[in-house]
């Protein structure tokens, strides 16, 4: 079981897609264990995207991510990182398959609606940037035995 960071970017918030995207994660069986609407500061955006600092799109990315509120989520489940990234679809909406979040809601190659951590290390780092201690609250759910085959004691 792992927890990953998901950011519903300014375009998703402005287009009123938050509920529809969150529902997809919950419908899949993933658990929302943290959520907040926030404005990302220039400093937080710079820290979050520091790996891209030398890339030509960096300034535009920081400007976009700080232009409007975002919804940050902590999403928990078995293989949550891989499952969430598959649900998100290809980075560019024009290349994303139908049935994915970007494939169903996006067409832009600049505004791609959603961010998801790409590894357990990135998830730990990113969750620490966006959530303070106590803001991510894993809890037992009665439905877990129906989402995952727990007959062996561990989720399948």
Q: Where are the domains of the chain?
A: 2-131
Asked if the model's pLDDT at residue 70 lies above 90, the reply is: yes
Topology of domain 2-131, CATH: Alpha-Beta Plaits (3.30.70)
pTM, to two decimals: 0.93
Point out the residues that are catalytic: 115
Q: What is the pLDDT of residue 95?
A: 93
Q: State the average pLDDT over residues 6-16.
A: 97
Q: Calculate helix-pair angle for 18-28, 80-88, nearest 10 degrees.
A: 130
Q: What is the pLDDT of residue 118?
A: 96
Task: Return the percentage of the chain with pLDDT > 70, whole number.
Answer: 100
Contact 113, 96 (CB under 8 A): no
Under DSSP, the state recorded for 107 is: -
**Burial bucket for residue 32 (CB in 10 Å: 0-12, 13-18, 19+):** middle
Q: State the average pLDDT over residues 124-139.
A: 96
């Amino acid at each position: 079981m792992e927890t990953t960071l998901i950011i519903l970017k300014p375009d998703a918030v402005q287009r009123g897609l938050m509920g529809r995207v969150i529902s997809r994660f919950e419908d899949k069986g993933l658990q929302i264990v943290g959520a907040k609407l926030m404005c990302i500061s220039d400093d937080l955006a710079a820290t979050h995207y520091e790996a891209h600092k030398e890339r030509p799109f960096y300034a535009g990315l920081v400007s976009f991510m700080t232009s409007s509120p975002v919804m940050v989520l902590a999403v928990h489940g078995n293989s949550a990182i891989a499952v969430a990234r598959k649900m998100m679809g290809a980075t560019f909406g024009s290349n994303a398959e139908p049935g994915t979040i970007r494939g169903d809601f996006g067409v832009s190659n600049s505004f791609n609606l959603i961010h998801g951590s790409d590894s357990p290390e990135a998830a730990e780092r990113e969750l620490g940037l966006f959530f303070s201690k106590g803001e991510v609250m894993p809890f037992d759910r009665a439905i877990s035995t129906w989402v995952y085959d727990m007959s062996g004691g561990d989720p399948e």
